[in-house]
Amino acid sequence: MNLAHWASAHRRSILFLFSILVIAGAFSLFKMPQGMFPNISFPRISVSVEAGDQPADQMVIDVTRKLEQALRPIPGVQSIRSTTSRGSAETSINFKWGQDMQQVLLQVESAVNQVLPNLPPGTTFTVRRMDPTVFPVIAYSLTSNVLSQIKTRDIAQQELIPLLSSIEGVAKIKTMGGDTEEYRVDVNPSKLSAYGLAFSDVVQALSATNVLKAVGRLEDHYKLYLTLSDTRLQNLHSLQNTVLKSGENGFVRLADIADIHKDVTPNWLKTSADGKPATFLLVYQQPKSNAVKISHEIEKRLADYKHKLPTSLHLSKWYDQSELVTSSSNSVTDAILIGVVLAAFILMIFLRNIKVTFIALLMVPSALAITSLLLYLLGASFNIMTLGGMAAAVGLIVDDGIVMIEHLVRRIREKNTTNDSLAHRLREAAVEFTKPLAGSSAATIIIFIPLAFLGGVTGAFFQALSLTMASALIASFLMAWLAVPLLAEHLLHEKDANIEDSGRIFNAIQNQYRNIMNKLVKKPIWLLAGLIPFILLGGYSYKQVGSGFMPHMDEGGFILDFVQKPGTSITESDRVVNQIEKIIVNNPAVQTYSSRLGGQLGGGITESNQGDMFIKLKPFPRPPIDQVMSEIRNQIAAKVPGVEVETALLMEDVIGDLTAVPQPIEIKLYGDNFENLIQTADKVANAISSVKGVVEIKNGVVQAGDAITVKVDRDKAAIEGVSPESITTQMNQWLTGVVTTQIQQGIKMVGVRVWTPKFSRQTIEDIAKLSIRAPDGHLFPLSRVATIKVETGQPQITRENLKRMVAVTARIEGRDMGSTIADIKQILKQPNLLPDNIYYELGGLYKQQQIAFKGLIGVFISALALVFLLLLFLYEDFAAATAILSAPLLATGMVFTGLWVTSMELNITAMMGMTMIVGIVTEVSIFYFSEYQALLKQNLSIPQAIVQAGVNRMRPIVMTTLAAILALIPLAIALGQGSEMQQPLAIAIISGLIVQVPLVIIVMPIIYRALLRKRVTT
């Protein structure tokens, strides 16, 4: 008893097993985590250091260099990049892909702790592991026309954060913006002096007055009591009545020398939503959590809690990462349904049987359900790559079903000379087709093996895609091998075997094919007449196709970063931002936006002259996102002078931040003379501005704002009897104030800031008049012991791998990356542009593209080698393996033509499709060659078998080709949001499939015949 008869005897149990797997797969759909990105561990650690207010050049010597030297010996370090400014340094360490980043994080923290004693006293540091979860997954804005920003922030912190923090998958929730309440004690310097008090006396009195302390225990009446001393301040009234000094003439209370009122903490961050001041609620997810589930649960809880919030409070969601995942999921569903319907149309045309069509199409949902189960068991998630992989796999799944069902139908419709039963003929046909089906499936699956060894961003993303497609192909093979024959045996009857399925048109095509092949078999040289133009077209197309990195996706929103002149005040910056907001509001494609001045979308804090906006666009129909970005950028350049803007797609911006290479163009200039570097950076930035398509050019020089430097003369200070440290302390009290204590109000603590009136610290001249109090009580102006002057801000100092560097960056618009970089390289070769002591290196996304292309070329070559090995294993014939492999190699030339015709760039997704063509065309070629071998066993001559194999396999090859093309069309036309990621892949595969039929049934057999003749001659 062979396998087919054994499987038939256990038909019910096998089909029941498949049913269990399909049902389990359907349930796994609801269990798998969903997010925008695959579960990627980016090999980057960021170390932020704060070390007082030292100048940037001194920070490099005292902090940055020591830190770099301590971090460099950590195993796996590939590069270190640092940015140093006054009092702070940011160091980014890149490691090899595949390392245990949790362990690396501990090693980095240990290295920083070891060098910390050698850094300036008071130095603090923060170490962050960079992965997608460092950015918020959902963000809400709280706005109100009635409530103050203090109240909206309190509602966010005291009500909404506790409400949402317990949701499964939420890592943390932060607030951004709003105001924090505090009590302000504005001390009048004249009154303070009149009462013989110092600023420090007020600070100490408030701190000493506001005390709650346990002073002992007491046993009385069989009880143990804790004794507390409670002198806490309760409210504004108690604060005003605080006694500062007492004597014979009475008390000096705080209200006698200060204006006491409620105020807000000094704030250098402004946040707004749709033009209104707003408090932001940022939700961060845990690794491997379900972003879609988190979003739904947050909406549900907020809806249930809404009646408890003030009616004047408007809560609006302006950012939700799960929306792209949901849209992609819907797009995949649509693509699958459309692909299945189109494939059903092909089956009905060729096989003319509803039951046969049903059996083949049943494979699609079943195989995808089993794929989901496999992904769930392997710990994968639903994201834009796995969803795209499922959509791309539909055509291949349908192919497996078609070739098996077509072979079964063809065998049962042949003349039954042995009078075997229909069931017996189906089983024998299934056994006969096992080897071709296994070989063809293996040819497609093994091309994904090299991707497991692909590193970098490309490997991280496409390993998810390849895992999905390999799982789908394994499930598809098992369904086609076992389930399809069993279902056919159960559903098909003799009348289905007697249907005539070849019409006059198809018979005429087969006869024409016979005539062509008979001539080519006799004179193979005529094949060159068709192949030479075909090869030349592929070569010409290759030169015409532009290159890129990752496909552009219309995610429904984008980031706009803005930078104003260094040192611009928060008030002036806010005025300029309002002008930008008017441009955004007037754009008809914009639905909503949020703005951060002095902050970033990810929650980071920046200088007050810069910030970013997240602009959410309306649903389709609307202009493409690139057009909207260009319009807004050009209008800002025309109407808002003095501000630099940079636009980026959301996913591009996040990946750029995670890999520290956000711009497509990055020219890294290295040299030891910092002044020369700055001058050269300006020249390079001006030079590349003439290149077509280069926009948003930055010279890489980030200038800090001007500073007021107060230099204390030690000798003069000594004459006044004051130490320089005391002068610095009093200046800090005068200009910043001192939060001396806190007063409890409900469930929050409100700070008490002792300060000076605003009118006394508004100008540089006010600083010179600042009254300094000596220990003996006499007062003198600061100008008596110090020189005050304004100094121009220093530029940030960037170092990479221990050498100074300035990076000139830019973005590309309306042009491919490859040709743009080629023009930039020509400009950089110009004489006298770069001094002899400065050299350059190209980085940014271009460098990532080159790394990705190098890896994918290796994957392509490895796939060819594995396929060739498989063919040798199947046939043990070099001529056969070479001839079969010639078909996919020729088909790859058509990929470039397809990309050129559709104006699509050759990017990493397109190269993935080109690699897949190798397996897909080889799969069909194996079907042909297996039929050829079977005909040889029937005593046909080699020429006869070559022609007849093409006749026999023409129908299934045409059917699978058309079905696969039609199934991929929804992806190729980017039907639905998020499908742009797989669009180049679909176009590449379709381009190869267009020439698959003639290559497999005409070109490959003739090449094989020619190789046989050469072998015989030899």
- The whole-number pLDDT of residue 1018 equals 46
User: Has residue 251 been placed in a domain?
Assistant: no
Q: List the domain range (segments joined by +) for residue 450.
A: 3-31+353-492+517-549+850-1015
| 807 plus 918 within the same structural domain | no
pLDDT at 249 over 60: yes
The burial of 400, by beta-carbon neighbours within 10 Å (0-12 exposed, 13-18 middle, 19 or more buried), is given as: buried
pLDDT tens digits for range 939-950: 888 888 888 888
Q: What is the pLDDT of residue 993?
A: 92
- Interstrand relation of 181-187 and 748-755 (parallel, antiparallel or unpaired): parallel
If pLDDT is split at 50, 70 and 90, which confidence band does 729 have? confident
* Alpha helices, DSSP H, located in 809-877: 817-828, 844-875
Q: Structurally, how many domains does the chain consist of?
A: 4
- Is the same domain home to 427 and 545? yes
Count CA atoms within 13 Å of residue 117 on its CB side.
Answer: 2
CB neighbours of residue 729 within 10 Å? 14
- Report yes or no on 306 lying in a domain: no
330 domain residue, yes or no: no
Domain boundary among 781, 808, 837: 837
Distance of alpha carbon 407 from alpha carbon 443, whole angstroms: 19
Q: What is the CATH number of the domain that holds 103?
A: 3.30.70.1430
Domain edge (last residue) among 130, 165, 184: 130
Check pLDDT > 80 for residue 134.
Answer: no
Same domain, 683 and 765: no
CA dihedral 833, 834, 836, 839 (to 10 degrees): -160
Residues 754 and 693 in one domain: no
Question: Is 692's pLDDT higher than 60?
Answer: yes
Q: Is the same domain home to 772 and 803?
A: no
Q: What is the pLDDT of residue 498?
A: 61
Contact 666, 836 (CB under 8 A): no
425/523 same-domain check: yes
Domain annotation covers residue 75? yes
Per-residue pLDDT at 4 exceeds 70: no
Q: Nearest Cα to 613, choosing from 112, 162, 272?
A: 272
pLDDT band at 161 (very low <50, low <70, confident <90, very high): very high
Same domain, 823 and 878: no
**Closest-CA residue to 648 (of 574, 578, 553):** 553
Residues 380 and 448 in one domain: yes
Q: Retrieve residue 316's tokens.
A: 């609006």
Q: Stretch 703-721: mean pLDDT, rounded?
A: 85
Does a structural domain hold residue 469?
A: yes
Cis peptide before 310 (omega within 30 of 0): no
State the Cα–Cα distance between residues 944 and 931, nearest whole angstrom. Answer: 12
DSSP state of 620: S
Encode pLDDT of 515-546 as tens digits. Answer: 888 888 888 788 777 788 888 998 899 888 88
pLDDT of residue 603: 67
Burial class (CB in 10 A: 0-12, 13-18, 19+), 270: buried
CA distances from 298 to 152, 281, 385 (A): 18, 12, 25
- As a whole number, the mean pLDDT across the chain is 85
On whether the CB atoms of residues 183 and 239 are closer than 8 A, the answer is yes
String of b and e for 222-232 (b: at least 16 CB within 10 Å)?
Answer: eeeeeeeeeee
Q: Average of pLDDT values for 637-666?
A: 79
Contact indicator for 357, 950 with CB cutoff of 8 Å: no
CA distances, 591 to each of 252, 319, 508, 618, 911 (Å): 58, 12, 58, 5, 36
The confidence score (pLDDT) of residue 970 equals 82
Alpha-carbon dihedral 653, 655, 660, 663, rounded to 10 degrees: -50
CB proximity list for 330: less than 8 A, separation 6 or greater: 976
**How confident is the model at residue 183, as a pLDDT?**
92
Q: How far apart are CA 955 and CA 958, in angstroms?
A: 5
User: Residues 698, 722: one domain?
Assistant: no
Asked whether residue 781 falls in the same domain as residue 875, the answer is no
pLDDT (tens digit, 9 = 90+) per residue, 185-217? 999 888 888 888 888 888 888 888 888 888 889
Q: Alpha-carbon Rg of the chain, whole angstroms?
A: 36
Query: What amino acid occupies position 722?
Result: V
Residue of 994, 970, 995 whose CA lies nearest to 330 = 970
Q: Percentage of the chain with pLDDT > 90?
A: 16
Strand-pair category, 557-563 with 644-649: antiparallel
Alpha-carbon 963 to chain mean position: 33
More reliable by pLDDT, 419 or 541: 541
259 within domain boundaries:
no
Whether residue 564 lies inside any domain: the answer is no
* Of 101, 52, 57, residue with least CA distance to 76: 101
The confidence score (pLDDT) of residue 111 equals 92
Does residue 696 share a domain with residue 824?
Answer: yes
730 and 678, same domain (yes or no): no
Report if residue 508 sits inside a domain. no
pLDDT given at position 379 = 83
Q: What is the CATH number of the domain that holds 394?
A: 1.20.1640.10
Range with the poorest average pLDDT among 154-168, 275-289, 365-379, 478-492: 478-492
Report DSSP state, residue 1000: I
- Residue indicated by tokens 């057009």: 627
CA triple 685-689-692, angle to 5 deg: 145
CATH code (residue 744):
3.30.2090.10
The token pair that represents 12 in the structure block? 């019910």
Residue 228 scores a pLDDT above 80:
yes
Domain's final residue, options 130, 159, 180 = 130
- For residue 278, the one-letter residue type is A
Contacts of residue 920, Cβ cutoff 8 Å, sequence gap at least 6: 396, 399, 444, 888, 964, 989, 992, 993, 996
Angle at Cα 893 formed by Cα 890 and Cα 894, nearest 5°?
Answer: 100
